[in-house]
């Protein structure tokens, strides 16, 4: 038996559109209701990775000239103009998106991507916004929020779990730990989503997402769907072939190790979280680790030894607790944070002849 879980907010409130037959594309594991479903029903996952397209119902459609929200034909999600991104990122900074959409199902996502392509708009995917620094000037094009793509599907027979791109990776870690499944204990302190974790190969405590990933479903700007195995993603330290590309992660399947005692697995998971809470600053907005570790060194050690703990530009400050964190102390701008990042890079390079590379993704003009 396969068990599927979806948050109550998944189903759109608009009039249902004609759906694509579950036998026609690899994304049919989407389940719009919070329920338990058997293999072979609407949540059954196909084994093939064929590509499909969902053309707009009306090729003549053009958005309204006025900067007002509008619905694309066949979609239940509005495309909104000039949406502030500050509240959608963990740094709490950044200007507006030219256009913003938060699809509630893969079909809405495909329709939105096709529209952006037809309009010549760049597409930027926004998960939890926890590893981003968005310019104060905002972002051109279409920003796609994945926060509603939160379906979760368990297969107890083979200890696999399939999760939508918008599922918080920390939530997934807890859910599998409660089953006694091992493999994601390290992820409980990661502030991002499944989609973001896959793209950047998130990791902690000597483990990473590539260790447990089976495959990932992606969409191209043209709306073509494909399934990629972990060997196709070119995983390296905090990067993958998806990073910097134009394909959008919609969901992924993970292989866990079953048979563990749920209480022990949960205890290990909580211990990882407690370790992060005592060594990293969670009391103020940040993006997590700002720079990649230049092996064999740790970025935090290099920054601390350069004497930069507590250094501040505007409202942005290098954390006193963990030097690889830059904090928004209340009134920081994206420019403050960016300038502080540049200063840290310059000072570390001047002393150690090592150029720190950002782990945080910098979006927009600075």
Given the residues 238, 292, 304, 349, the one annotated as active site: 238
3-state DSSP helix/strand/coil % of the chain, to nearest 5: 25, 25, 50
DSSP structure string for 253-287? EEE-B----HHHHHHHHHHHHHHHHHHS--SS---
Among 37, 135, 240, 289, which one carries the catalytic annotation?
289
Pairing of strands 96-101, 139-145: parallel
For the chain, the maximum distance between any two Cα atoms, rounded to a whole number of angstroms, is 62
Nearest to 13 by CA among 127, 148, 120: 148
In the residue annotation, 359 being an active-site residue is answered as yes
3-state secondary structure labels for all residues of 303-343: HHHCCCCCCEECCEEECCCCCCCEEECCCCCHHHHHHHHHH
Encoding tokens for residue 362? 């910098």
Instruction: Given the residues 28, 107, 114, 359, select the one marked as catalytic.
Output: 359
Sheet-wide strand order for 312-313: 312-313, 316-318, 326-328
Contact 30, 151 (CB under 8 A): yes
Q: Is residue 238 annotated as a catalytic residue, yes or no?
A: yes
Q: Measured between alpha carbons, how far is 86 from 96 in angstroms, rounded to an integer?
A: 8
Q: Which residues pair with 254 in a beta bridge?
A: 161, 213
Is 357 one of the annotated active-site residues of the chain? Answer: no
Instruction: Give the Cα separation of 37 and 250 in Å (integer).
Output: 20
Instruction: Give the Cα separation of 93 and 329 in Å (integer).
Output: 11
Query: How far from chain centre, in Å, is Cα 178?
Result: 23
Q: Which residues are catalytic?
A: 238, 289, 359
């Amino acid at each position: 038996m396969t068990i599927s879980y979806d948050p109550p907010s998944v189903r759109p409130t608009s009039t249902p559109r004609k759906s694509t037959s579950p036998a026609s594309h690899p994304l049919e594991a989407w389940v719009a209701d919070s329920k338990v479903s058997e293999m072979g029903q609407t949540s059954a996952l196909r084994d093939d990775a064929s590509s499909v397209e969902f053309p707009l119902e009306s090729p003549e459609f053009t958005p309204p000239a006025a900067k007002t929200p509008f619905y694309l034909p066949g979609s239940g999600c509005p495309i909104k103009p000039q949406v502030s991104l500050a509240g959608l990122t963990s740094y709490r900074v950044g200007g507006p998106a030219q256009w913003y959409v938060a699809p509630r199902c893969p079909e809405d996502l495909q329709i939105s991507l096709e529209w952006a392509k037809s309009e010549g708009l760049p597409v930027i995917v926004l998960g939890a916004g926890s590893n981003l620094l968005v310019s104060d000037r905002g972002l051109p094009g279409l920003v796609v929020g994945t926060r509603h793509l939160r379906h979760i599907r368990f297969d107890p027979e083979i200890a696999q779990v399939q999760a939508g791109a918008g599922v918080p990776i920390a939530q997934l870690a807890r859910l599998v730990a409660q089953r006694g499944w091992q493999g994601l204990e390290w992820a409980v302190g990661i502030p991002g989503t499944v989609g973001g974790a896959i793209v950047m190969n998130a990791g902690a405590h000597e483990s990473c997402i590539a260790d447990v990933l089976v495959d990932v479903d992606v969409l191209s700007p043209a709306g073509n769907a494909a399934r990629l195995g972990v060997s196709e993603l070119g995983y390296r330290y905090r990067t993958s072939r998806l990073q910097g590309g134009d394909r959008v992660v919609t969901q992924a399947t993970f292989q866990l190790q079953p048979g563990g005692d749920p209480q022990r697995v949960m205890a290990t998971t909580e211990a990882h979280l407690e370790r992060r809470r005592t060594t990293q600053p969670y009391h103020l907005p940040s993006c997590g680790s700002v720079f990649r570790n230049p092996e064999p060194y740790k970025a935090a050690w290099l920054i601390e030894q350069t004497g930069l703990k507590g250094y501040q530009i505007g409202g942005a400050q290098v954390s006193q607790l963990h030097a690889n964190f830059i904090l928004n102390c209340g009134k920081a701008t994206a420019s403050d944070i960016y300038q502080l990042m540049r200063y840290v890079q310059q000072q570390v390079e001047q002393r150690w002849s090592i150029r720190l590379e950002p782990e945080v993704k910098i979006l927009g003009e600075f």
